[in-house]
Structure 1
Amino acid sequence: MKIGVIGIGVMGEPIARNLKKAGLDVTVFSRRPESCEPLREAGIAVAGSAAQAIAASDAAILMLPGHKEIDAVLGRDADGRIGISVEGKTLVLMATVAPAYSIALERAVVAAGARYVEAPVSGSKTPAQTGQLVVLAAAADPMQLDALQPAFDAIGKRTVRCGAVPGAMRMKLANNLLLIASFEAITEAVHFAAAIGLDLRQFLEMAQAGPLANDVLRMKAPKLLTDDFERQAAISQAFKDIGFVCDEAEALGLWLPAARTNRVVFGEAMRRGQADEDVIGVIKVLRDGMPMTANA
């Protein structure tokens, strides 16, 4: 299989490496050409544009920050039509976007003569590096997922098939509601433990020995002990995704108090310029004692 990866960053780079390691023919493109140089040195082909990467591939993964960047690389016009040649190709959206946007993008891709697959992934930097992501996949035709399974197996430990679009995106949002709540709860518990005079190392060792021990706690505990805010999962991504959750909930008339509170907390971290920090950076907001407002 010839596969493209468009968007080379914290997730895109290890995904491209693992696809190459699995023996697939990989071509990459980034809006920041310098980010592709380590992959070029590893023997991976680098395209000069998204159109070239798609032309060189049977399927092209879009691992981009959001709607704006996806539209830009596909050359979508004001009416949503795709401006580059994608006919006969499969476009695989691995970014997390609003379900309504994914539905609209599927229509545009099909109108342009191509196939569309949703495949957002659960996991951050370390699982991406080790090929331990969970792939959430949805498509109009299950055979499209069958064709992509070797690529999914190269980057993930499990593929969860979620029916038709936007089933995978909705699954991802439900998962991220749980994940983001976990990030904030762990950070808040550490903040509370410090404030009441506990030994933080002892507290975190106890937590990891108890019923709430999990991979998230294991990854975040050493970072919280040292105020290591280098990103594994960025505050900007958590804020974007919890916003999508809240938008979906509001459209359905659902009350999700934890989601709404986390939109405020992560939004405050964004306002303070912490977008590129790891999610545990919200502990700075907690330390400053930001009062919750009516916007929660």
Structure 2
Amino acid sequence: MTTIGFVGLGIMGSPMAGHLVEAGHDVTGYDVGPTGLDKLKAAGGAAAASAAEAVRDKDIVITMLPQDEHVEQVFRDVLEHANPGTLYIDFSTITPQTARWTAQEGTKKGLRVLDAPVSGGETGAVNAALSIMVGGAEADFEAARPIFGALGKTVALVGGNGAGQCVKAANQLVVGGTYALVAEAILLMENLGADAAKGLDVLAGGLAGSKILELKRESMLARNFVPGFRIDLHHKDMGIILQAARQAEVSIPMGALTAQLIAAARAMGYGSLDHSALLLVADALSGRAETDGES
């Protein structure tokens, strides 16, 4: 049995920690709110009173946190309380720079560090069907395979430390742009008199098909935007993408436009809704009546 300290039991982290308990690991979790802790205890895990308590004397330490500053804060507890040789896996979506910082500082303390952001949203986390893009040393990646296998279906080592976050940035670029185009396709069909539901079925079965069309077309048509991944978080991710593109001196005009649309969604008050709520931005730009985004 592997002992795991898991910090960050939100929409994604909570089901992930539960899967690790189901896989036979001894999981101790911590979160700033009680909901995730209660769910972990109900699943057979243990709740810690602090991040420091969660990570102390564990074989593996995992974080799944919203932003860079949260990872930096918790990682300082990891540096102070984790034993040398501990495997640290960060599933958060953060900047490549912060991921490299955790690796550099962790190495000084004798830790093994992987950045392993995920894609698949709440559905992927609940179904243990996440895509996991990993940056770090191959030996550490191999050591982490049982963890990844309990959480995801597609797992790849994509480079050294920070590379996982680079691939996640590319993922969020494609996801955001796809949502924006699906939104426009829906409006086009609705306003030209086509059956949009049947139209999306056809699109999903052809070259235009995507995971987004597979999973989200019905909820988008219903203007149901219960969050699986919030606009606020995708806005944060678009900032990572634009910063990375500037550093790489890569032009991403479509990405920049997508970032503007997601920023507009936040400005319209849709930050707490699912990122498929880009359809509401398209509605507004086309002069359609706005909805409240609720089911």
TM-score normalized by structure 2? 0.90
Q: Percent identity?
A: 26
Runs (5+) with no aligned partner, structure 1: 77-81, 292-296
Q: Match for residue 73 of structure 2? A: 72
Q: Is the 8 A contact 1:96 1:172 kept in 2?
A: yes
CA distance in 1, matches of 2:80, 2:268: 38
Question: Are 2:266 and 1:276 equivalent residues in the alignment?
Answer: no
1:121 alignment partner AA? V
SS in 1 for 2:144: helix
Q: Match for residue 294 of structure 1? A: none
Q: 1:209 to 1:115 in 2, by over 3 A?
A: closer
Picking from 178, 181, 184, the partner of 1:185 is: 181
SS in 1 for 2:82: coil
SS in 2 for 1:162: strand
Provide, for residues 270-293 of structure 1, a one-character-per-residue CA deviation record: whole Å limited to 9, x for no partner: 1222222111111111111189xx
Q: Match for residue 104 of structure 2? A: 107
Q: Is the 8 A contact 1:229 1:278 kept in 2?
A: yes
CA distance in 1, matches of 2:196, 2:142: 47
2:177 alignment partner AA? A
1:186-265 equivalence runs, <5 A: 186-265=182-261
Q: Is the 8 A contact 2:5 2:61 kept in 1?
A: yes
Q: Match for residue 19 of structure 2? A: 18
Picking from 126, 129, 136, the partner of 1:129 is: 126
Question: Are 2:156 and 1:160 equivalent residues in the alignment?
Answer: yes
Displacement of 1:160 in angstroms is: 0.3
- Between 1:148-157 and 1:18-27, the stretch displaced more is 18-27
TM-score normalized by structure 1? 0.90
Q: Is the 8 A contact 1:138 1:161 kept in 2?
A: yes
Q: Is the 8 A contact 1:119 1:168 kept in 2?
A: yes
2:87 alignment partner AA? T
Provide, for residues 46-89 of structure 1, a one-character-per-residue CA deviation record: whole Å limited to 9, x for no partner: 1111111111521111100011211233348xxxxx76322322
CA distance in 2, matches of 1:135, 1:69: 20
1:233 alignment partner AA? F
Runs (5+) with no aligned partner, structure 2: 288-295
Provide, for residues 191-235 of structure 1, a one-character-per-residue CA deviation record: whole Å limited to 9, x for no partner: 222233322212212212322223220111111121111012221
Provide, for residues 223-259 of structure 1, a one-character-per-residue CA deviation record: whole Å limited to 9, x for no partner: 1121111012221222111221111112222211110
1:78-93 equivalence runs, <5 A: 84-88=80-84, 89-93=86-90
2:249 alignment partner AA? G
Aligned residues: 285
CA distance in 2, matches of 1:20, 1:134: 20
CA distance in 2, matches of 1:184, 1:151: 34
Displacement of 1:111 in angstroms is: 2.7
SS in 2 for 1:84: helix
